[in-house]
A and B are shown apart, each in its own frame.
Chain A
Amino acid sequence: MTGETKWGCTHNERQPVSSTCAAIWAAPACLPRVSSIQLWWATRVHSPHHSLWSLQWPSTRLSANISPRFPGSQPFGSVPLTPVVSQPTVLQPYGPPPTSAQVTAQLAGMQISGAVAPALPPVGLGYGSPASLASASGSFPNPGLYGSYPQGQAPPLSQAQGHLGAQPPQRSAPPQASTFTSPASGGPRMPSMTGPFLPGQGFGGPSLSQPNHVSSPPPQALPPGTQMTGPPGPPPPMHSSQQPGYQLQQNGSFGPARGPQPNYGSPYPGAPTFGSQPGPPQPLPPKRLDPDAIPSPQLNELPPQQKTRHRIDPDAIPSPIQVIEDDRNNRGSEPFVTGVRGQVPPLVTTNFLVKDQGNASPRYIRCTSYNIPCTSDMAKQAQVPLAAVIKPLARLPPEEVSPYVVDHGESGPLRCNRCKAYMCPFMQFIEGGRRFQCCFCSCINDVPPQYFQHLDHTGKRVDAYDRPELSLGSYEFLATVDYCKNNKFPSPPAFIFMIDVSYNAIRSGLVRLLCEELKSLLDFLPREGGTEESAIRVGFVTYNKVLHFYNVKSSLAQPQMMVVSDVADMFVPLLDGFLVNVSESRAVITSLLDQIPEMFADTRETETVFAPVIQAGMEALKAAECAGKLFLFHTSLPIAEAPGKLKNRDDRKLINTDKEKTLFQPQTGAYQTLAKECVAQGCCVDLFLFPNQYVDVATLSVVPQLTGGSVYKYACFQVENDQERFLSDLRRDVQKVVGFDAVMRVRTSTGIRAVDFFGAFYMSNTTDVELAGLDGDKTVTVEFKHDDRLNEESGALLQCALLYTSCAGQRRLRIHNLALNCCTQLADLYRNCETDTLINYMAKFAYRGVLNSPVKTVRDTLITQCAQILACYRKNCASPSSAGQLILPECMKLLPVYLNCVLKSDVLQPGAEVTTDDRAYVRQLVTSMDVAETNVFFYPRLLPLTKSPIESATEPPAVRASEERLSNGDIYLLENGLNLFLWVGASVQQGVVQSLFNVSSFSQITSGLSVLPVLDNPLSKKVRGLIDSLRAQRSRYMKLIVVKQEDKLEMLFKHFLVEDKSLSGGASYVDFLCHMHKEIRQLLS
């Protein structure tokens, strides 16, 4: 019954989605040619396996049992399902072993040969517009691809529905579901199912215990009706249809044989993503479902044939979970040693140690590819963006040492005279050590006498291993005064806390909470090394529509407040006593923090200013001649008369219009100007927002964004609910180590050049990334382009130099070096790619794109680029195979699924519940995310909690983010780095409910609960421990939301099940894959 329910729901929800999808994707012209689809991807398994796959089947299956998720096995499984006829075709591709170590597997693809066709008429991909369908039919008997069923099946569907009430089919549904979802087992089983029309047959599978198994046998018993939460109309048809549908899917993918099945039509009423677009309706009208049978009007409009879409076995398509798991297993145990050029590091999801042996740790730099095409032509052909995601101040695990600090005294770091690159392990010493040749520009430089050292017989300096700059990938130099602003060593930085004390801030309890927290938090300002006390000075400002500065000089008995109401022309009213040492002024500061909530307790001021606040902070730092950070706590749209005044310009009607981009653009240029001044002063701005309504995040976040700051947003902040999250973020934000007044420069070997930069920073020229502040969470993504040929021999070098002022006020240079390989074969490029990094780049690229182009254009660009990348691979690297096959390079097999997640993210495809501010906020966040963050952000982790034994200390293995993977007898945690859900299935054992929530039944669980009761039992401890550990992994505190199955809140939760269709119109993974395939084919043809 679980299965049924799920399906029912899914269908309903997907339905609207599908139509949107169609709108996005429809590329009618292509339809006709696609008579079948085969999805292939390359794996690391060697080609022999492919060819032999059928022979090896048993063993694969075996391995699947051992390691249930073995990816390779799944695809194969699906193949056999195809009717016999098709099988040979399927096999064909394997014949010639793919050159580039790819394993192809057929994915639920329907191999429809003309001959077989008769059986298949209905199979339509659903992409097509009617026209294309029509034309397709010309050449192919079964043009419909996915949607193949349409005409013929429609009637049955309605029939089925008609039966609905009485029909027992539900029963069968669950098993189907299980087969469907059981990936590994599914594979093996399929073959056996191929022939039979009987749905039941295939269900041997369910019994196999697979982590991914959604269905649990017992629940099937539940009557469909009870489980349906969705609209009354649609569900029944689904149920009725489900069973057959299910089979259809499974079996249907195999095409023709299924065709005839009467049940086919019914299964996917809601599904027809692709077809719903323009095309389908026309050809279909006659075949429409009986409106009477299907109450939902929406459903009615869906051409039946498209509902068959789900022919591809979701288990058979590349699974992120599997990839992650494999990488963990394969690479998690050994340290990653950076000595070798062009090594692809383990995935970001894998825990591994790094040993620096001459290249920067992947914690500092990750690349889209570790093998760069030698020529720009190659690069253009491949379309694989060459980018590095750099996190110069990344935090390291305790086992790894932070970069050594090298002090060259007054002479400062040694650099190439021409290109100014810093001394690094790749510099070549020549002439007995008297000179060195720059590894970037080949310039020959003299070695200064004090740096001279003899070379050993290999030409290496004898002291190479004594000097970090000659042996390590990452290290720091102490900067000389030449590297300092105004040729003066910097003073220690300062933190200024700027607190909104308008009515909203007071009423929500924010001010009181914050002041209370600051009292203790100030003891934990970042400090350097072993110093007792932080060198950072602090200052305080409160504001509403005027600003209040505080003199907290230690000699005062009471703090003094200085009000500046000239917001149009902001200035700092005091110098002495504004920025103070915490320990010296503790009494005064405490007194101040005690009094602030009291002073404004009765305020009725609702208006606030914003730009003047930043201006004030910046001026204060300027006056104190230091860099620093502003912590702004702000509640509302700044409508008070002042520079940077904003108006509410939120307009949802703009969505999906050419003007949508204005929602992401700042309202006024004032903030850019201000940000520029801030950067010049080394004034970083962290913004904490507590809005009750639209605050125009797009505009307010301009300064934080350009100054390397962070934005935190707590909508409808209430102390009771949001306290922990806010305080946790605040603590982290205040305590984190920051580099100030930084400039980052990326130098490269001749041949490539850094051309584009993404992240939270400011650039006043084309090469220098200026960062008023940079913390260990902030990432800069840099894109490279060729300006010349690269040399395969020497490879390509990157050197990222970051000049910054440390928390203690020390001026330093942090250098990261990375050597990459260069290739003349495209295959090498594809073999050394990193999809996670690629996605990081593409997301940032797209998220910046929305500022200037319509969102649709941005999405299309992404899709096109992705298709080009894959098409290039297919064309140049994959062995020749049928056009119906989708072949993905092993390193990029997750590209479609991840890209789809990016495409359907809130920024690029907002749902109805997503506010303009949310989108701007997310857009802003993603800009400086590192690879690990984008990875989980776009593809959330979904962890079943009761599947693994309670005793096991490790995190439970994740499951794919799809509703199909949820079992209503289980509890899941879902996290994406920002959100954390605890989903409780409706049939969770009472004991589990009791031990987790301390209530006796599912119905008593408070929906939306954000804190789990602290209970003394293993399960509770484990879950809470897990939550804590998840939070600890993320840079922001994730507030927990408990979601009950079929509760209202579930919609929110489902938004994160990214493999499914989204309410906002995002395609399901399967659908997208098909679409991608279509795009690729189009490119290839």
Chain B
Amino acid sequence: MATYLEFIQQNEERDGVRFSWNVWPSSRLEATRMVVPLACLLTPLKERPDLPPVQYEPVLCSRPTCKAILNPLCQVDYRAKLWACNFCFQRNQFPPAYTGISEVNQPAELMPQFSTIEYVIQRGAQSPLIFLYVVDTCLEEDDLQALKESLQMSLSLLPPDALVGLITFGRMVQVHELSCEGISKSYVFRGTKDLTAKQIQDMLGLTKPAMPMQQARPGPPQEHPFVSSRFLQPVHKIDMNLTDLLGELQRDPWPVTQGKRPLRSTGVALSIAVGLLEGTFPNTGARIMLFTGGPPTQGPGMVVGDELKVPIRSWHDIEKDNARFMKKATKHYEMLANRTATNGHCIDIYACALDQTGLLEMKCCANLTGGHMVMGDSFNTSLFKQTFQRIFSKDFNGDFRMAFGATLEVKTSRELKVAGAIGPCVSLNVKGPCVSENELGVGGTNQWKICGLDPTSTLGIYFEVVNQHNAPVPQGGRGAIQFVTQYQHSSTQRRIRVTTIARNWADAQSQLRHIEAAFDQEAAAVLMARLGVFRAESEEGPDVLRWLDRQLIRLCQKFGQYNKEDPTSFRLSDSFSLYPQPVLLDSSSILADRILLMDTFFQIVIYLGETIAQWRKAGYQDMPEYENFKHLLQAPLDDAQEILQARFPMPRYINTEHGGSQARFLLSKVNPSQTHNNLYAWGQETGAPILTDDVSLQVFMDHLKKLAVSSAC
């Protein structure tokens, strides 16, 4: 048998699922003692080039409370044409279409390799994708120019039948009508006034006049339910028009006096975008793409006033509850996010500015709707340009790597219940037999809505083992979980992806080693991090840190091998070794004769040590005799390029050297093993000292060990 590492990898490849524990403790009590909860990271739309969708609909368990989907784990009686649900044990007849079924003639969903399978639903009208650009015009001229070009370019990337709309904002908010010839029309809204969806629709003329005679004429079915909006038009029809329109976009013309910020009505703009789609295209895939170059400065959702002398709230202000507009703004954006999620639309935020833009207040817009949030310095950077371009990248099938309006349903076998999910989703508040009373993340439901997702969108899903200690699971028993994701594919098809997995139960007392070996420390770290972040949303920062510390200590106590009160005896097995301590990303690595490449996901830093930098300056790389030096310099660049190609959002790419101002990106990340506090204590080593008061990993580990072995805890 392959190693667990391989197993984990395989499972991830096939099902897009990684569990913190791959062997499950069989009782509730045991499970809680594991410290790290039984949970998984699910990537619902994991790219599966080898998985062509089947063109029929799934077969459901007939028990109304179950409705699990037929899967390879079900027991099938080929002769009786019956199958037993592996979740509720209901026996179900196969539908008529399955009459030809037999051991040798199995439908795909019964084959073990199709633990993940995708169905295409043929029913229902297909609605085109919708892209609504919400563009800040309070930008510097070149920034706006760059943004306009990006937007114009994007038109060529959109599916031709996609509907596109444009809202621009500054002091006012303009909703552009795209259908017209000649005069370009836009509806203008005050940037300071919050409007209800109804008002917005009224003002945009989207509400149809009441038809008093409707009864008399039994409704002729509306031919084009979508043509109603003059503001959203198929790209192929209006791309020329829109290109011109974008080309003519001017900076916000209202004068900005000295000492003021431009008045930026982001809150209202977003509200109108949401209201517009809400009224016209509820429950069809739509992206609201907000491009903003600064903080909202007026109206609902304002983050800072327009007086430049009052700086935008800092972290310090927020901690002290001194951020004047934050609560109100956050509430506004949350309200919008929730409405957007209810409508099944998603919001992307592309914020490019050197100062803050208020993403903190707006984050829920992306978080709850599965939108992207991209932060850059300027729209005139490749970071933004390429990231934006990458939104419209296509997969091996030529389909956009995006999906919309998904609902994720999680079904569990009886020993398990669903505690919650953490990710770009909102609860659908569906209570079922498999919903736990204890909530981790967004709980109280086993169904969530994910308005926008792509092949990398990943949710953390947390479970609770409910099996009582005194009712052990029979030896060899397996727990099963089914993930059912219904979504609108970028081809506008409705699809259902079903992943059914099973894991072994183990008795934690007798088989702790098994469980320990099946620990996926990477997944666990991420899942715990998500929990920490989730808690941080509602709890005080220090409390969350303390909680994280406690969890770590408890884990070490549980799985470490040590002698009581003897820190030096502390050992962790391989499967836990990385959990507390990721990398030797240490200041001691910064040496004069090294080139470092650091990838922090959002940043890629190439750092040339002092000597290397001098060599390069001297031009050795250009001398034939030092070709190897040239290669040395080139190698990290190539690696970085490789990362840059695939990463979304495009990371900040930093090429720097010893003493360079940008070296700060490296120095801020490395483990401060050498600081100004201990510089001389370390003596002979020649790493770079980091000017920080943070403790180094070594110190941290020492403390951890001490606490883990302490009986006081």
Residue of A nearest to B195 (CB): A566
Q: A565-B205, A566-B203, A575-B254 given as contacts; is B183 within 8 A of A599 (CB)? A: yes
Shortest C-beta distance, B687 to chain A (Å), equals 58
Shortest C-beta distance, B201 to chain A (Å), equals 10
- Docked-complex contact A565 and B204, CB < 8 angstroms: yes
Q: A558-B184, A573-B172, A575-B253 given as contacts; is B190 within 8 A of A546 (CB)? A: no
- Within 8 Å CB of B186, what residues of A? 560-563
Residue-wise, chain A 329-364 has the 8 Å CB interface mask toward B (1 for contact) of 000000000000000000000000000000000000
- Docked-complex contact B248 and A556, CB < 8 angstroms: yes
Interface check A664, CB cutoff 8 A: no
Interface check B564, CB cutoff 8 A: no
Interface check B185, CB cutoff 8 A: yes
- Within 8 Å CB of B172, what residues of A? 571, 573-574
Q: A566-B190, A566-B203 given as contacts; is B253 within 8 A of A561 (CB)? A: no
Shortest C-beta distance, A422 to chain B (Å), equals 37
Residue of A nearest to B184 (CB): A560
The listed residue (B177, B187, B253, B255) touching A565 by CB distance below 8 A is B187
Interface check B237, CB cutoff 8 A: no
- Within 8 Å CB of B195, what residues of A? 566
Which residues of B182-202 are within 8 A (CB) of A?
Answer: 182-190, 193, 195, 199, 202
- Within 8 Å CB of A558, what residues of B? 182-184
- Docked-complex contact A571 and B190, CB < 8 angstroms: yes
Residue of A nearest to B253 (CB): A576
Interface check B447, CB cutoff 8 A: no
- Docked-complex contact B190 and A560, CB < 8 angstroms: no
Residue of B nearest to A573 (CB): B188
Residue of A nearest to B245 (CB): A560
Interface check B174, CB cutoff 8 A: yes
Residue of B nearest to A557 (CB): B248
Which residues of B161-220 are within 8 A (CB) of A?
Answer: 172, 174, 177, 182-190, 193, 195, 199, 202-205
- Within 8 Å CB of A556, what residues of B? 248
How many chain A residues touch B (Cβ–Cβ < 8 Å)? 26
**How far apart are the CA atoms of A573 and B203 in the complex, in Å?**
14
- Docked-complex contact A595 and B182, CB < 8 angstroms: yes
- Docked-complex contact B188 and A564, CB < 8 angstroms: yes
- Within 8 Å CB of A561, what residues of B? 183-186
Shortest C-beta distance, B272 to chain A (Å), equals 11
**How far apart are the CA atoms of A739 and B527 in the complex, in Å?**
75
Q: Which of B186, B187, B188, B205 has the most CB of A within 10 A?
A: B188
Shortest C-beta distance, B108 to chain A (Å), equals 54
- Within 8 Å CB of A546, what residues of B? 203, 205
**How far apart are the CA atoms of A564 and B195 in the complex, in Å?**
14
Shortest C-beta distance, A453 to chain B (Å), equals 47
Q: Which of B177, B183, B205 has the most CB of A within 10 A?
A: B183
Q: A549-B188, A565-B202 given as contacts; is B183 within 8 A of A574 (CB)? A: no
Q: A546-B203, A569-B193, A577-B253 given as contacts; is B183 within 8 A of A562 (CB)? A: no
- Docked-complex contact A563 and B183, CB < 8 angstroms: no
Interface check A259, CB cutoff 8 A: no
Residue of A nearest to B182 (CB): A595
Residue-wise, chain A 661-675 has the 8 Å CB interface mask toward B (1 for contact) of 000000000000000
The listed residue (B174, B177, B182, B193) touching A573 by CB distance below 8 A is B174
- Within 8 Å CB of A569, what residues of B? 190, 193
Number of A-B contacts (CB under 8 A): 66
- Within 8 Å CB of A571, what residues of B? 172, 190
The listed residue (A560, A564, A575, A577) touching B183 by CB distance below 8 A is A560
Shortest C-beta distance, B525 to chain A (Å), equals 51
- Within 8 Å CB of A562, what residues of B? 174, 185-188
Interface check A128, CB cutoff 8 A: no
**How far apart are the CA atoms of A595 and B183 in the complex, in Å?**
8
- Within 8 Å CB of A550, what residues of B? 183
Q: Which of A565, A591, A599 has the most CB of B within 10 A?
A: A565
Shortest C-beta distance, A564 to chain B (Å), equals 5
Which residues of A558-601 are within 8 A (CB) of B?
Answer: 558-566, 569, 571, 573-577, 591-592, 595, 598-599
**How far apart are the CA atoms of A573 and B248 in the complex, in Å?**
17
- Within 8 Å CB of B248, what residues of A? 556, 560
**How far apart are the CA atoms of A573 and B199 in the complex, in Å?**
18
- Docked-complex contact A565 and B185, CB < 8 angstroms: no
Q: A546-B203, A592-B183 given as contacts; is B253 within 8 A of A566 (CB)? A: no
Q: A556-B248, A558-B182, A595-B182 given as contacts; is B253 within 8 A of A564 (CB)? A: no
- Within 8 Å CB of A598, what residues of B? 182
- Docked-complex contact B254 and A565, CB < 8 angstroms: no
- Within 8 Å CB of A565, what residues of B? 187, 202-205
- Within 8 Å CB of A559, what residues of B? 183
Q: Which of A549, A560, A576, A595 has the most CB of B within 10 A?
A: A560
Shortest C-beta distance, A595 to chain B (Å), equals 5
- Within 8 Å CB of B174, what residues of A? 562, 573
The listed residue (A563, A576, A592) touching B188 by CB distance below 8 A is A563
- Within 8 Å CB of A574, what residues of B? 172, 188, 253
Residue of B nearest to A562 (CB): B188
Residue of A nearest to B187 (CB): A563
- Docked-complex contact A563 and B185, CB < 8 angstroms: yes
- Within 8 Å CB of B203, what residues of A? 546, 565-566
- Within 8 Å CB of B188, what residues of A? 549, 562-564, 573-574
- Within 8 Å CB of A577, what residues of B? 253
Shortest C-beta distance, A787 to chain B (Å), equals 49
- Within 8 Å CB of B185, what residues of A? 548, 560-563
**How far apart are the CA atoms of A560 and B182 in the complex, in Å?**
9
Shortest C-beta distance, A921 to chain B (Å), equals 33
Residue of B nearest to A605 (CB): B205
Residue of B nearest to A599 (CB): B183
**How far apart are the CA atoms of A549 and B186 in the complex, in Å?**
10
Shortest C-beta distance, B362 to chain A (Å), equals 24
**How far apart are the CA atoms of A571 and B174 in the complex, in Å?**
13
Shortest C-beta distance, B427 to chain A (Å), equals 35
Residue of A nearest to B209 (CB): A604
**How far apart are the CA atoms of A563 and B183 in the complex, in Å?**
12
**How far apart are the CA atoms of A592 and B186 in the complex, in Å?**
15
Shortest C-beta distance, B437 to chain A (Å), equals 47
Shortest C-beta distance, A619 to chain B (Å), equals 11
- Within 8 Å CB of A560, what residues of B? 183-186, 248
Q: Which of A549, A564, A566 has the most CB of B within 10 A?
A: A566
- Within 8 Å CB of A595, what residues of B? 182-183
**How far apart are the CA atoms of A569 and B255 in the complex, in Å?**
22
**How far apart are the CA atoms of A546 and B207 in the complex, in Å?**
14
**How far apart are the CA atoms of A562 and B193 in the complex, in Å?**
18
- Within 8 Å CB of B254, what residues of A? 575
Residue-wise, chain B 252-263 has the 8 Å CB interface mask toward A (1 for contact) of 011100000000
Shortest C-beta distance, A562 to chain B (Å), equals 5
**How far apart are the CA atoms of A592 and B250 in the complex, in Å?**
20
Residue of A nearest to B251 (CB): A576
Shortest C-beta distance, A592 to chain B (Å), equals 7
Shortest C-beta distance, B203 to chain A (Å), equals 4
Residue of B nearest to A570 (CB): B190
**How far apart are the CA atoms of A575 and B250 in the complex, in Å?**
12
Which residues of A971-998 are within 8 A (CB) of B?
Answer: none
Q: A558-B184, A560-B183, A561-B184 given as contacts; is B193 within 8 A of A566 (CB)? A: yes
14 residue pairs bridging A and B, Cβ less than 8 Å apart: A546-B205, A549-B188, A550-B183, A560-B184, A560-B185, A562-B187, A563-B187, A565-B202, A566-B199, A574-B172, A574-B253, A576-B250, A576-B253, A595-B183
Interface residues of A (CB under 8 A from B): 546, 548-550, 556, 558-566, 569, 571, 573-577, 591-592, 595, 598-599
Closest 4 CB pairs of A and B: A573-B188, A565-B203, A576-B253, A561-B185
Not counting A549-B188, A560-B185, A599-B182, a sample of 4 additional A-B residue pairs whose C-beta atoms are within 8 angstroms of each other reads A558-B184, A560-B184, A574-B172, A575-B255
Interface residues of B (CB under 8 A from A): 172, 174, 177, 182-190, 193, 195, 199, 202-205, 248, 250, 253-255
